[in-house]
Amino acid sequence: MAFVVAVAQRKGGAGKSTVAATLATTFAAQGQRVALLDADPQQTLARWQQERAAAGSRAHPLGFEAPSGWRLPATIERLARTHDVVVLDTPPHADTDARIAIRAADLVLVPLQPSPADLWAMEGTLELIAEEKRRAAVLLNRVPANGRLREEIVRELLRRKLPLLEPGFGNRTAFAAAFAKGLGVVESAPRGTAADEARAVADAVAALRPGKA
């Protein structure tokens, strides 16, 4: 069965869709069979997928569906039988659809921009994950080059004993540029720093797969 990873964050603008697309395309570039699901009513990834269809040979094979909330469990169950990894982009609010997506996941990845406001907003997402008894990992996203704020947020996460993924994504235009073309950074600029970060994050996420040591 597939490793099911939900990308969830209650706060809008946290970069959920870009993180989900980056993770899915990075796994696909490694030769894994990957399905990407857009469960967010904003359908950002559905628009991204349209661009991807025109990207040609640079785009690695990637299954894509955009099921409504009540169809999500059956869709995940079906795709999990034929894929190695299923990545979900979830709704931004702690509503029923977000709960359904989180409940179906083996791991819930929570993107966090290094700011106090984003840290406060994340609490609702973590509460929902805890209620559903799912495993969570916080991913620092859009981290500025100046590391002072990052260090402050990391200290606070450690103080709260929250599960922090060691690698993260810098505040790099390469992520947005790739996304605009329907690609991941490992496809659009495979030798760049952003692609290195994407591979490091994918490896760290894969290490959290159930059954891994």
Place of tokens 């994504």: 169
What is this structure's pTM?
A: 0.95
The mean pLDDT value for 122-130 works out to 91
- pLDDT at 196 (0 to 100): 98
The mean pLDDT value for 79-85 works out to 97
Does the structure show a pLDDT above 70 at 213?
A: no
Query: What is the fold, at CATH topology level, of the domain defined by 3-206?
Result: Rossmann fold (3.40.50)
Does the structure show a pLDDT above 60 at 94?
A: no
pLDDT digit string (tens) for 152-180? Answer: 888 989 998 889 998 999 999 999 999 99
